[in-house]
Structure 1
Amino acid sequence: MATVEAHQPRSAATVEQLLGRTVRYQKHKPGRHLSVERLPKESFQIETIHRFGSRVVLNDGLIVMEDAPTVMERRGRIGLLLKTGEELYFTVE
């Protein structure tokens, strides 16, 4: 399966542009620096984004990333691509 990055022009958004969006978890490429244990199976809205040093926390700990991701969006799919090689994908509701 091709990733969002492979077909996306090199214009990336910042994680703050996801604020207020309603998304649904699709899949992720796991690793040590991305915590998705608390992700709901149903759709949810991204309500808060906090930065603590290099750490990025969405929805008060729902998603925790050790680095700010590159955010790619294409055809209703959002990819959060971390420098560590980890990836997190959502579909836009």
Structure 2
Amino acid sequence: MATVEAHQHSSVTVEQLLGRKVRYQKHKPGRHLSLERLPREAFQIETVHRFGRRVILNDGFIVMEDAPTVMERGGRIALLLATGEELYLMAE
């Protein structure tokens, strides 16, 4: 995480990832981030829904209890939650 955070170009919103094809890389788990349905192969981010503070990508592939800070550098996308949980994806 420190590498992505220290060398970030700019942060973006989750909605700016719409249409991007990504692949799961790794995550730092916790109770505010659910990846139960996340495919391990490449997939396209097709939907982003917000219900109060909850953010849901692709109708439940990724469920976050709060909007993350999203950073991208060198094809690596980091979703950083305020709770300390992290999700890393690689852009295809």
What TM-score bracket applies, with the shorter chain setting the length? over 0.9
Tell me the percent identity.
Answer: 82
In the alignment of these two chains, the number of paired residues is 92
Q: Render the CA deviation track for 1:38-66: whole Å, top value 9, x for unaligned.
A: 11111000000000000000000110000
Task: Kindly report the root-mean-square deviation, in angstroms, between the aligned alpha carbons of the 2 structures.
Answer: 1.2
The two structures have a TM-score, normalised by structure 2, of 0.95
Q: Which runs of 4+ in 1 moved over 2 A?
A: none
With normalisation by structure 1, the TM-score equals: 0.94
Deviation, 1:3, is 3.8
SS of 2:12 mapped into structure 1: coil
Q: Structure 1 stretches of 5 or more lacking a match?
A: none
Q: Which residue of 2 aligns with 1:80?
A: 79
Structure 2 gap ranges (5+): none
